[in-house]
């Protein structure tokens, strides 16, 4: 059975509004598919928006798109697909799946379009789901090739602009969103270095993230970066670039796609943010939910709340949340 399912997640957002529902229905009609709309607003609020707010309350930098993939797109939507008799689920993520003789299972691989590769956001899917995923954009070299296919079939989405913002914050002003929707208020506190010396004042810890250099309004003999937070004292901790880098860190809430368990120490590479390149490291599984990561070289901006995603060549090993 072929069908199209639209998740109603966040009404009036950049990806969930009446226009997108109409476009999806037209495309399904052209292709001869049935089209269903599944109301998921409350689930989205609980799993994505509330999580987003809670992480900032705890001085962490969340990644809501990953949570949405875990619980909505590859959670709720996959359950809906199975209830309709479908054996596969297809999305527009830039990634690939294939059967690997070497590993004896279906694997998730990087897209041919490395600049747009989205495997970083997909490590959270259940490993059993990989063989049921169809990712048609994985072999396209760039977005223009995709638009050309859409134009060929007269799909109106061919000219639709890319959306790279958080869908429920279309203007990308997350600080304003937290203030307007979650009661966050600027609360002045001290900016300190690791010695506890006061260097200035901040306007609220939620306005800063690990690795940030600009916007602190302080002067020093060398560039300073945000290196941490002291929530209890409402202090923003800053330091030099040397103080920002890390050689080791831990990852929890892990999801492994390539193995059921990592035995011993395993050489691989890791991305600590979507916008970074993956760099060599060694991982060691400490318990069922924790990995110890040792970098081959120092890495900057290792940020609690963000995901670390691991690769062996172009295959996704798995990932978890940086502690």
State the catalytic residues.
68, 167
A 10 A CB-CB count for 189 gives: 19
CB 59 within 8 A of CB 102: no
The Cα 224–Cα 212 span in angstroms is 9
CB 35 within 8 A of CB 28: yes
Bridge partners of 270, per DSSP, are 279, 310
Q: Which residues contact 280 (CB under 8 A, 6 or more apart)?
A: 267, 268, 269, 295, 296, 297
Residue 123 tokens, joined: 């490590």
Give the phi and the psi of residue 264 in degrees, each rounded to 5: 70, -155
CB 72 within 8 A of CB 43: yes
Name the percent of the chain in helix, strand, coil, to the closest 5. Answer: 30, 30, 40
The Cα 53–Cα 64 span in angstroms is 10
DSSP states of 281-323 as a string? Answer: EEEEEEETTEEEEEEEEEES---TTSEEEEEETTEEEEEEEE-
Residue 164 tokens, joined: 């790279």
């Amino acid at each position: 059975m072929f069908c199209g399912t639209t998740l109603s997640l966040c009404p009036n957002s950049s990806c969930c509004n009446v226009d997108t529902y109409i476009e999806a229905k037209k495309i399904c009609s052209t292709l001869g598919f049935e089209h269903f709309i599944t109301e998921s607003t409350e689930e989205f609020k609980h799993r994505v928006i509330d999580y987003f707010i809670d992480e900032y309350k705890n001085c962490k930098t969340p990644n809501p798109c990953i949570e949405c993939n875990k619980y909505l797109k590859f959670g709720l939507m996959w359950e809906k697909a199975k209830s309709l008799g479908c054996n596969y689920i297809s999305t527009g993520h830039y990634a690939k799946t294939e059967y690997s003789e070497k590993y004896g299972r279906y694997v998730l691989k990087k897209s041919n379009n490395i600049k747009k590769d989205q495997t970083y956001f997909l490590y959270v899917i259940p490993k059993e789901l990989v063989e049921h995923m169809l990712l048609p954009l994985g072999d396209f070299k760039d977005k223009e090739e995709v638009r050309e296919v859409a134009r060929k079939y007269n799909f109106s989405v061919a000219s639709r602009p890319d959306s790279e913002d958080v869908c429920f914050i279309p203007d990308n002003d997350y600080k304003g969103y937290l203030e307007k929707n979650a009661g966050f208020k600027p609360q002045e506190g001290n900016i300190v270095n690791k010695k506890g010396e006061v260097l200035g004042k901040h306007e609220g810890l939620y306005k800063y993230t690990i690795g940030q250099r600009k916007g602190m309004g302080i002067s020093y003999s060398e560039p300073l970066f945000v290196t941490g937070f002291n929530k209890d004292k409402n202090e923003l901790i800053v330091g030099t670039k040397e103080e920002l880098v890390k050689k080791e860190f831990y990852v929890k809430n892990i999801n492994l796609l390539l193995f059921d368990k990592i035995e011993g120490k395993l050489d691989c590479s890791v991305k600590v943010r979507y916008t970074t390149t993956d760099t060599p490291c060694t991982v060691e599984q400490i318990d069922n939910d924790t990995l110890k990561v040792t970098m081959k070289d120092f890495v900057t901006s290792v940020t609690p709340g963000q995901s670390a995603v691991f690769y062996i060549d172009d295959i996704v090993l798995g990932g978890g949340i940086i502690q």
